[in-house]
Structure 1
Amino acid sequence: MSESEHRMIEILRILDEQDRPIGSKLIADELKNKGFNLGERAVRYHMQILDEKGYTERIGYAGRQITRQGREKLEKGLLYDQVDFINSKFEEMIYLSDFNYMTQTGNVVVNTSTIYNEESINIIEMIVESGLSVSPYVNINRIKNSDEIEVTTLCGTTIDGILLNEGIPSQPLYGGILKIEDFQPIKFTELISYRKTSLTPLDVFSTPQYTSVIDVVTKGKGSIPANFRVIPGAGKEKTIDILHKLDKIGIGGVIGISNESEDLLGLPVPNGMVGIAIVGGITPFCAIKELGEEIDIKIAEELKDFKSLSPITASITPVLKAPTVPKQTKLPLLLSKSWNLIQQVDFDVEKRKGDIIANVSYVKKEDLDESLKIMGETYNNNPKYINPYYKLLNHPTDNDKVGIATICSLTIDGLLINNGIMCNPVYSGLLELTEPPTFIELISYTGTTIDPHKIFISKNMTSISKDGIGKILASFKEIPYISRDYAVHLLDILKNTGFSIYKIGKPREVTYNAKAENYNFGIVAGGGLNTIGAIREHGIPIEVKSIETLVPFEEMDRL
Structure 2
Amino acid sequence: MSESEHRMIEILRILNEQDKPTGSKLIADELKNKGFNLGERAVRYHMQILDEKGYTERMGYSGRQITNLGREKLEKGLIYDQVDFIYSKFEEMIYLTDFNYITQEGNVVVNTSTIYNEESINILKDIIGSGLSVSPYVNLNRVGSNDEIEVTTLCGTTIDGILLNEGIPSQPQYGGLLKIEDSQPIKFTELISYKKTSLTPLDAFSSSGLTSIHDVVNSGNGIIPANFRLIPGIGRQKAVEIISKLEKIGIGGVIAISEEGKDILGIPVPDGMVGISIVGGITPFCAVQEENQPIDIKIAEEIRDFKTLSPLTSNVKHSLKEVEHDIQPKIPFLLSKTWNLIQQVNFDVEKRKGDIISNVSYINRDDLDSSLEIMEETYNNNPKYINPYYKLIDHPTDEDKVGIATICSLSIDGILIDNGIMSNPKYGGLLELTEPPLFIDLISYNGSTEDPHKIFLAKNMTSITRNIGPSKILASFKEIPYISRDYSVYLLDILNNIGFSIYKIGKPRELAYNAKADNYNFGVVTGSGLNSMGAIKEKGIDVEVKAIEKLLPFENMDRL
Task: Give the TM-score taking structure 1 as reference length.
Answer: 0.91
SS in 2 for 1:227: strand
For 2:9 and 2:467, locate their aligned partners in 1 and report how far apart those are by CA, in whole Å.
Answer: 33
Unaligned runs of 5+ in 1: 16-20, 37-41
For 1:118 and 1:475, locate their aligned partners in 2 and report how far apart those are by CA, in whole Å.
Answer: 42
Alignment deviations for residues 346-393 of structure 1 (CA, whole Å, 9 cap, x no partner):
000000011000001111222111111111111111111111111111
Give the aligned residue type for 1:544.
V
Give the aligned residue type for 1:543.
E
CA contact (8 A) 2:114 2:149 kept: yes
SS in 2 for 1:375: helix
Structure 1 residues 345 and 320: alpha-carbon distance in aligned structure 2, compared to 1, 3 A threshold: same
CA contact (8 A) 1:207 1:290 kept: no
Give the aligned residue type for 1:534.
A
Aligned to 2:395: 395
For 1:65 and 1:120, locate their aligned partners in 2 and report how far apart those are by CA, in whole Å.
Answer: 42
Structure 1 residues 299 and 315: alpha-carbon distance in aligned structure 2, compared to 1, 3 A threshold: same
SS in 2 for 1:347: coil
Structure 1 stretches of 4+ moved >4 Å: 1-8, 21-24, 48-60, 63-67
CA contact (8 A) 1:431 1:439 kept: yes
Structure 1 residues 441 and 363: alpha-carbon distance in aligned structure 2, compared to 1, 3 A threshold: same
Aligned to 1:428: 428
Alignment deviations for residues 182-239 of structure 1 (CA, whole Å, 9 cap, x no partner):
1111110001110111111111111222111111112211111000001111100000
For 1:100 and 1:488, locate their aligned partners in 2 and report how far apart those are by CA, in whole Å.
Answer: 59
CA contact (8 A) 1:474 1:525 kept: yes
Give the aligned residue type for 2:95.
Y
Aligned to 1:133: 133
Aligned to 1:552: 553
For 1:64 and 1:422, locate their aligned partners in 2 and report how far apart those are by CA, in whole Å.
Answer: 46
For 1:480 and 1:346, locate their aligned partners in 2 and report how far apart those are by CA, in whole Å.
Answer: 21
Give the aligned residue type for 1:441.
D
Matched, 1:440 2:444: no
Structure 1 residues 548 and 68: alpha-carbon distance in aligned structure 2, compared to 1, 3 A threshold: same
Alignment deviations for residues 416-449 of structure 1 (CA, whole Å, 9 cap, x no partner):
0111101000110011111111111110100100
For 1:337 and 1:83, locate their aligned partners in 2 and report how far apart those are by CA, in whole Å.
Answer: 23
SS in 2 for 1:236: helix
Question: More deviation in 75-84 or 245-254?
Answer: 75-84
Aligned to 1:374: 374
Where do residues 290-301 of structure 1 align in structure 2 (5 Å cutoff)? 290-301=290-301
CA contact (8 A) 2:15 2:66 kept: no
Unaligned runs of 5+ in 2: 35-39
For 2:496 and 2:58, locate their aligned partners in 1 and report how far apart those are by CA, in whole Å.
Answer: 48
- Offset at residue 9 of structure 1 (A): 3.0
SS in 2 for 1:483: helix
Give the aligned residue type for 1:336.
S
Give the aligned residue type for 2:453.
H
- Offset at residue 11 of structure 1 (A): 6.2
CA contact (8 A) 2:15 2:65 kept: no
Aligned to 1:97: 97
Structure 1 residues 479 and 368: alpha-carbon distance in aligned structure 2, compared to 1, 3 A threshold: same
Aligned to 1:411: 411
Give the aligned residue type for 1:201.
P
Aligned to 1:123: 123
Alignment deviations for residues 274-304 of structure 1 (CA, whole Å, 9 cap, x no partner):
1000000011110111111111111111101
For 1:401 and 1:147, locate their aligned partners in 2 and report how far apart those are by CA, in whole Å.
Answer: 41
SS in 1 for 2:443: strand
For 2:334 and 2:106, locate their aligned partners in 1 and report how far apart those are by CA, in whole Å.
Answer: 40
SS in 2 for 1:94: helix
Aligned to 1:39: none
Aligned to 2:177: 177
Give the aligned residue type for 1:529.
L
Matched, 1:487 2:488: yes
Structure 1 residues 77 and 167: alpha-carbon distance in aligned structure 2, compared to 1, 3 A threshold: same
For 1:357 and 1:5, locate their aligned partners in 2 and report how far apart those are by CA, in whole Å.
Answer: 37
Aligned to 2:37: none
- Offset at residue 463 of structure 1 (A): 1.4
- Offset at residue 173 of structure 1 (A): 0.4
CA contact (8 A) 2:12 2:66 kept: no
Question: More deviation in 364-373 or 440-449?
Answer: 364-373
Matched, 1:217 2:217: yes
For 1:11 and 1:106, locate their aligned partners in 2 and report how far apart those are by CA, in whole Å.
Answer: 33
Where do residues 30-429 of structure 1 align in structure 2 (5 Å cutoff)? 52=51, 67-324=67-324, 326-429=326-429
- What percentage of aligned pairs have identical amino acids? 70
Aligned to 2:498: 497
Alignment deviations for residues 120-173 of structure 1 (CA, whole Å, 9 cap, x no partner):
111111111111111111111111233321111111111111111111110000
Aligned to 1:9: 13
CA contact (8 A) 1:186 1:325 kept: no
CA contact (8 A) 1:476 1:523 kept: yes
For 1:4 and 1:87, locate their aligned partners in 2 and report how far apart those are by CA, in whole Å.
Answer: 26
- Offset at residue 267 of structure 1 (A): 0.7
CA contact (8 A) 1:507 1:518 kept: yes
Alignment deviations for residues 89-121 of structure 1 (CA, whole Å, 9 cap, x no partner):
000111111111111111111101111112211
Give the aligned residue type for 2:494.
I
Question: More deviation in 390-399 or 265-274?
Answer: 390-399
For 1:74 and 1:155, locate their aligned partners in 2 and report how far apart those are by CA, in whole Å.
Answer: 28
CA contact (8 A) 1:83 1:442 kept: yes
For 1:307 and 1:58, locate their aligned partners in 2 and report how far apart those are by CA, in whole Å.
Answer: 44
Aligned to 1:477: 478
CA contact (8 A) 2:181 2:220 kept: yes
CA contact (8 A) 2:438 2:513 kept: yes
Aligned to 1:515: 516
For 1:22 and 1:122, locate their aligned partners in 2 and report how far apart those are by CA, in whole Å.
Answer: 46
For 2:176 and 2:64, locate their aligned partners in 1 and report how far apart those are by CA, in whole Å.
Answer: 39
Give the aligned residue type for 1:288.
V
Give the aligned residue type for 2:492.
L
For 1:73 and 1:486, locate their aligned partners in 2 and report how far apart those are by CA, in whole Å.
Answer: 35
For 1:555 and 1:144, locate their aligned partners in 2 and report how far apart those are by CA, in whole Å.
Answer: 60
Alignment deviations for residues 302-326 of structure 1 (CA, whole Å, 9 cap, x no partner):
1011111111111110111111163
Where do residues 17-28 of structure 1 align in structure 2 (5 Å cutoff)? none
Give the aligned residue type for 2:409.
S
- Offset at residue 68 of structure 1 (A): 3.0
Question: More deviation in 144-153 or 472-481?
Answer: 144-153
For 1:419 and 1:126, locate their aligned partners in 2 and report how far apart those are by CA, in whole Å.
Answer: 58
SS in 2 for 1:510: coil
Structure 1 residues 286 and 260: alpha-carbon distance in aligned structure 2, compared to 1, 3 A threshold: same
Q: How many aligned residue pairs are there?
A: 536
For 2:335 and 2:412, locate their aligned partners in 1 and report how far apart those are by CA, in whole Å.
Answer: 14
Give the aligned residue type for 1:404.
I
Structure 1 residues 294 and 68: alpha-carbon distance in aligned structure 2, compared to 1, 3 A threshold: farther
Structure 1 residues 6 and 174: alpha-carbon distance in aligned structure 2, compared to 1, 3 A threshold: farther
RMSD: 2.6
CA contact (8 A) 2:21 2:59 kept: no
